[in-house]
Amino acid sequence: MEVTCLNCGKKFHRSPSLIRGRTFCSRKCRSNYARQPIICEGCGQTFLRNPKTPERKYCSWECFKRSRWVTVTCFYCGKQFQKRLSEVKKAEENGHKHMCSRDCRNRYTSLLLGGDGEWEEGGKYKRYGEPRKWRRQRMLAIKRDNYMCQSCGATEELEVHHWEPYCIGFDNSLDNLVTLCRECHREMHLMYKREGFYEDVLRECRWN
């Protein structure tokens, strides 16, 4: 009797005893019917999906690896560069900025810490003007505050915080300095970050 191939639509004759369920004119048509064409999410090309891997979304391993990288813009210098998709998602979840290099990240961090945005090889920040003058102002501030954190009263791991970041007014006067312990200093900067204070700092900094 005459039957129709489910894949290509071709008419052909087959014995009634051999007709069981779906009919195909050839093994190739049977295979193609099971391997429905889909569009690759990476390159957009059409490929035949293997029925053994029904969840497959990419035509090849190379295409999958390329899809794991996206183009982002450096927050500091504006340069575009490639970054892993997993790292981009992690940065967005934690509120981190995209940086194209360690140099850009260190310069940006220098600004966040109140510096002038300059950075030396080896990770040492040029902050607060001339080192000798800054060390003197730092010790005067700690002495004025009776060698204790002005937030929690701790007397160890003391640091000096600029109320107005140094890069705005280059102000190292005692009125702009306060003694904090390392933990309170860290919490102060986290509070600034949560309130969006650093976004305003980047617009006002006079480091160019």
Of 164, 79, 167, nearest to 118 by C-alpha is 167
Full pLDDT tens readout for the chain, 208 residues: 788 887 677 887 777 767 777 787 887 777 777 677 788 877 878 877 776 776 778 888 788 888 888 899 998 888 899 888 888 888 888 778 888 888 888 777 776 665 555 555 544 444 555 667 888 888 999 999 999 999 999 999 999 988 887 777 778 889 989 999 999 988 888 887 777 766 666 665 554 4
Confirm whether pTM is higher than 0.85: no
What's the CA gap between 99 and 118, in Å, rounded?
16
